[in-house]
Chains A and B, each alone.
Chain A
Amino acid sequence: MEKILVLLHTAADGGLPPAALETLGVAQSLGAAWDLAVLGANAAAAAQSISSGAGKTLAVEGDAFSQSRYSTDAAAAAALIQASGAQIVLAPGTMRFNRALPGVAARLNGAADTHIVAVDPSLNVHRWFYRQRMEGTLTRSTRPWVLLIEPGSNPAATTAAGAPAELLSVPVETRTQVTGFQSPAADQQTIRPGASLLFVAGAGWTKKQKDGATHTGEAGEIILGFVQKTQSSLGSSKSLVDLSGEGQAVLPFLTHLHQVGQTGSTPRHRKGLATCCHGEEPHVVGWRFINERRAINLDPACGWSRGKADVLYVADAFEVMRALAPLL
């Protein structure tokens, strides 16, 4: 089998993100010779900490490369790939590399495939098409070929320190500066990719309830209270996010970032609880990687009942969630 380059980046703190070790795990499982290359803050040390078993160990570091930025990341990655000479490049599909590596592949007259969930030793790769509606298995003859491995889809490698990294010097040319990050305050953050539970709120929370009135204020309190108490990650259906976007008196803490489904995200969590959403196909495709699924809905014939959830509770979500709060 062709030699592989495992191309990784460090996080802002200089450590390797979990997705990096998962990618290394995929490379190791293929049984081929592999080089290791790391870019970013503290890259050389990070590379050495896992370089046992690698052929070449390469790194690019320095202030310019500690920021996640296309121009510098692309220059560093291209230099590392060329220095390794490997034609198959395995890299984690983080936002940083999803941004940089497809362009690097084009620069090197190669190709890139993203969101890869598995790689066979024959270099057949598995990925999803049409918003997680169908799975394809493909391979390609173009080289170099960059394969971006979807985070969370493979087990992490067992690693050991090895040879020190050879540092490459890469010229810096950029017109972009990363000026910072914006995120809700820690107590208001409701998107938690690492949480074991995804809680999804649907448009039903804002509709008229049994008494003929809406109870949006209480709905907001119930939802936020639950998410904070369980430290779960909050998701939403498109219809509810759209309502929030139109400035109606709905659930102000929901943004497009919360949207799960065909035009939103496809998060990975062990469990998912859907409330007040109908479970239509365009929404449920966002649940592709939620292992255990339960739903609360007033309609016994809703989409969840048709094999999309493990358990459907036909009940009033307000009542259930009110009763649930003191039990947590």
Chain B
Amino acid sequence: MPYQIIVCGGLAPDPLQTLEPVSSPAGPALKNEMMLPAVFDPWAGHALYEAAHLAKQHPGSSIKVVSLAPKAKLQQVMMTIAQKLPFELVPLDGPGGGFTDAASIAAVLADAIAAIPGLDKSQVLLFGGWESATRGAGTVMQMVGEKLGITEQFLAVDELTIDADGALVIKERVEGGQHQVSRCTAPPAVLAWATGNLSEPANHPQTGMANMRAMMPALQKAKPASLTSALTFADVSLPAVTRQTRIVKDVPAAEIAREIAEWIKQ
């Protein structure tokens, strides 16, 4: 059967950047947030690649990416992501940082998804990352699912297969390096992905150009999302991480091994 796959995914600062918090009248923010290069949130990216993989196997499936971020940044990041696989973008213009309230984000996303024309809940698979690289809360997908009335939900998914009966067979990460395997008879379902098993698709300029024909007008028309927050921050700070590193140099391997063995046994 075809699936309507909806992938929720925001932006995160390029992971290599140095991050620092600052206070603003609206609460904490990231220093130079608009300057920092952004990437599509890594876990949402895994969800998107898995969506493409599933859609390819099930003709007639569609992928829509619902993304809340400052739209100029979103446009910039889409120029990379849109080259990887075919999808439609549902852009929402709003703050993309980690200090916004997850509950408010979930409400905005749920409203945007509910308003997608032609949405057939019996075909919906709601994908996203299990956490964002910004807030790292791992709560948005479940709340969006609840607001859309989807009560089959899976967190930290690493694998989805469709069995002969059309049921979803899902592997979720659980404690201790294990996977829990579940069978869900049919959509709709929420799958919040961990890393999955697929590598990042290579860029295809043709795909990018074709995607952009619809994305550019959508981005131009993206409406500002109205977020509310019941959060009050008392403080955001960088941890003091610096240790006094003792550097052991020019010492025979055997001696180092002895020292390490002793430390392990302590």
Residues in A whose Cβ lies below 8 Å from that of B28:
136
Residues in B whose Cβ lies below 8 Å from that of A281:
16, 18
Bound complex: CA A133 to CA B99 (Å): 13
B195 sits at the interface (CB 8 A): yes
Q: Separation in Å of the B226 CB from the closest CB of chain A?
A: 17
A175 sits at the interface (CB 8 A): yes
Pairwise interchain contact A312-B245, C-beta atoms closer than 8 A = yes
Bound complex: CA A98 to CA B174 (Å): 11
Chain B residues with a Cβ under 8 A of chain A: 13, 15-16, 18-21, 28, 30, 42-43, 98-99, 101-103, 106, 133-140, 142-143, 145-147, 151-156, 158, 169, 171-186, 190, 194-197, 199, 230-239, 241-251, 253-254, 256-261, 263-264
Pairwise interchain contact A136-B151, C-beta atoms closer than 8 A = no
A320 sits at the interface (CB 8 A): yes
Pairwise interchain contact B234-A138, C-beta atoms closer than 8 A = yes
Bound complex: CA A94 to CA B214 (Å): 41
Bound complex: CA A273 to CA B183 (Å): 39
Contact of B99 (CB < 8 Å), options: A124, A136, A292: A136
A157 sits at the interface (CB 8 A): no
Pairwise interchain contact B174-A181, C-beta atoms closer than 8 A = yes
Contact of A134 (CB < 8 Å), options: B142, B182, B237: B237
Residues in A whose Cβ lies below 8 Å from that of B244:
307, 310
Residues in A whose Cβ lies below 8 Å from that of B194:
256
Residue among A184, A259, A324 having the largest count of chain B Cβ atoms under 10 Å: A324
Say which one of A50-58, A63-71, A81-89, A201-209 lies at the interface with B: A63-71
4 nearest CB pairs, A to B: A191-B177, A307-B242, A102-B139, A323-B257
Bound complex: CA A319 to CA B253 (Å): 6
List 27 A–B pairs whose Cβ atoms lie within 8 Å, in order of A's numbering.
A74-B153, A98-B155, A99-B155, A99-B156, A100-B142, A102-B102, A102-B139, A124-B234, A129-B98, A129-B134, A130-B13, A139-B232, A175-B184, A175-B186, A179-B169, A179-B182, A180-B181, A197-B264, A256-B195, A271-B264, A293-B243, A296-B256, A305-B245, A307-B241, A307-B243, A308-B242, A316-B253
